[in-house]
Amino acid sequence: MSVIESIRRDHARLAGIRRDIHAHPELAFKEHRTAELVAGHLEALGIEVHRGIGRTGVVGVVRGGRGLRAIGLRADMDALPMQERNTFAHQSRHSGCMHACGHDGHTTMLLAAAEVLARERNFDGTVYLVFQPAEEGEAGARAMIEDGLFERFPMASIYGMHNWPGMPAGRFAVHSGPAMASADRFDIEVLGNGAHAAMPHLGNDPVVAAAALVQAIQTITSRTLDPLDAAVVSTTMFHAGEAYNVIPDRASLSGTVRAFSATVQSRVEARLAALCRGIGEAYEVRIDMTYQRGYPPTVNTAGEAAVCARVAAELVGAENVELDARPSMGAEDFAFFLERRPGCYVWIGNGPGEGGCTLHNPHYDFNDDIIPVGAAYWVRLVETQLNLPS
Ligand SMILES: [Zn+2]
Ligand SMILES: [Zn+2]
């Protein structure tokens, strides 16, 4: 019996686990129930378990043979602070909290893989099962790294998987190179001199200066980056003033920057600072900017991506593995792992979804049909990377 067939036999039970996690979503670093569910499940399989890595993270250790090679497989466990609009039986029991990104499914697929790995041990080396907290904006991956993940569990490479709505179930996308973008934030304060709106010459208008800055910021991508280097700079907040007849003394702008390389990130940050200086001088206002780096770009290493593509192709057929899918401008904190170890983060098709439902939509639900193929991918990846000595 193939790996996927053996997992399919347990499908109803695995879907039950997934729906139980879905019904009990927990926010970043508060995944206590989920972490305990994971740890208990692994322990019942005889797997060595380490709790509390990066606060609520869990690591399981599965050994096969005597090999010294080791790899890591990662699933994320956290939910989002949003209200679920689904009405099915496994809808969220927690108001204002929802598994709208499918991390319930990711956790379940890795647990399902753990069952097979612990039972069959058809590999030579060590697999670290990394169940991370706080993927959604709170950098749980970084918390695990700062807690000594790679020193305590030395792995040569690490792998991630995310469901992808809109891509048919049973398909994979594997990027060699960037898969997801970086996500940085900027906050800008434009400080002028308030005045009577009928006497603008007596003040320094921060609104006009800020408006000029919004326009100038749009030239960063169009005029200073290589057209082949994709980036997004979006000013998403602009606040100033509170009366018809008052020129306010300050305006504030904030926004997000997305890119696929650290070089582009640095270039955008430098240009933002230069435009703030230049426009401040031109309009005789003071402009202060703070630029906050968030998640780095998620960049797969070529060798590991090639192995993942091969494993997926063996599982679902080469025609169902997209090697040229466009990367996403969304961000993913698996990037922190890839900054320190080679590895690959793949997308697994979640199917069309109800009404073309996307991630982070209040009607989203993880597609239980893909649990066997996702779990089998993990098992086959381990058996390929840590293949038995011939
Ligand atoms: Zn998400
Ligand atoms: Zn997610």
Q: Which residues pair with 288 in a beta bridge?
A: 189
201 CA distance to ligand 1 middle (Å): 49
| 26 alpha carbon – ligand 1 mean position (Å) | 13
Burial status of residue 20 (CB atoms within 10 A of its CB: 0-12, 13-18, 19 or more): middle
CA geometry: angle 155, 310, 111, nearest 5 deg: 50
CA separation for the pair 296, 316 (Å, rounded): 31
* Whole-angstrom distance, CA of residue 186 vs CA of residue 259: 14
Q: Ligand 2 centre from 188 Cα, in Å?
A: 29
Cα 386 to Cα 390: distance, rounded to the nearest angstrom: 12
Structural tokens at position 84:
């679920």
Tell me, what's the pLDDT at 85? 96
Ligand 2 centre and the CA of 102: distance in Å?
6
CA of 137 to the centre of ligand 1 (A): 8
Query: Which ligand has the nearest atom to the CA of 106?
Result: 2
Give the ligand with the smallest distance to the CA of 98: 1
Q: Among all ligands shown, which has an atom nearest to the Cα of 334?
A: 2
Six token digits for residue 3: 């790996």
Query: 104 CA distance to ligand 2 centroid (A)?
Result: 10
Q: State the Cα–Cα distance between residues 81 and 138, nearest whole angstrom.
A: 12
What are the CA-CA distances from residue 140 to residues 31, 150, 225 (Å)?
11, 14, 31
Cα separation values, 85 from 27, 52, 98, 105, 358, Å = 18, 32, 9, 18, 13
Sign of the CA dihedral with 214 first, then 216, 221, and 225 last: negative
Q: Which residues pair with 298 in a beta bridge?
A: 180
How many angstroms does the Cα of residue 222 sit away from the middle of ligand 2?
A: 30
The pLDDT of residue 388 is 83
Task: Extract the tokens encoding 293.
Answer: 């780096």
| Ligand closest in space to the Cα of 104 | 2
3-state secondary structure 223-237: HHCCCCCCEEEEEEE
- Starting from the CA of residue 162, give the closest ligand: 2
pLDDT of 356: 60
First to last CA, the chain: 21
Please tell me the pTM assigned to this model. Answer: 0.94
The H or E element that residue 76 is part of is strand 70-76
- Tell me how far the alpha carbon of residue 100 lies from the centroid of ligand 2, in angstroms: 8
Report the separation in Å between the CA atom of 238 and the middle of ligand 2, taken as the mean of its atom positions.
28
User: Which tens digits make up the pLDDT trace of 97-129?
Assistant: 999 999 999 999 999 999 999 999 999 999 999
Residue type, 292: Q
Per-residue pLDDT of the chain (390 residues; tens, 9 = 90+): 899 999 999 999 999 999 999 999 999 999 999 999 999 999 999 999 999 999 999 999 999 999 999 999 999 999 999 999 999 999 999 999 999 999 999 999 999 999 999 999 999 999 999 999 999 999 999 999 999 999 999 999 999 999 999 999 999 999 999 999 999 999 999 999 999 999 999 999 999 999 999 999 999 999 999 999 999 999 999 999 999 999 999 999 999 999 999 999 999 999 999 999 999 999 999 999 999 999 999 999 999 999 999 999 999 999 999 999 999 999 999 999 999 999 999 999 999 865 568 999 999 999 999 999 999 999 999 999 999 877
Residues 76-102 have pLDDT tens digits of: 999 999 999 999 999 999 999 999 999
The reported pLDDT for the residue numbered 348 is 98
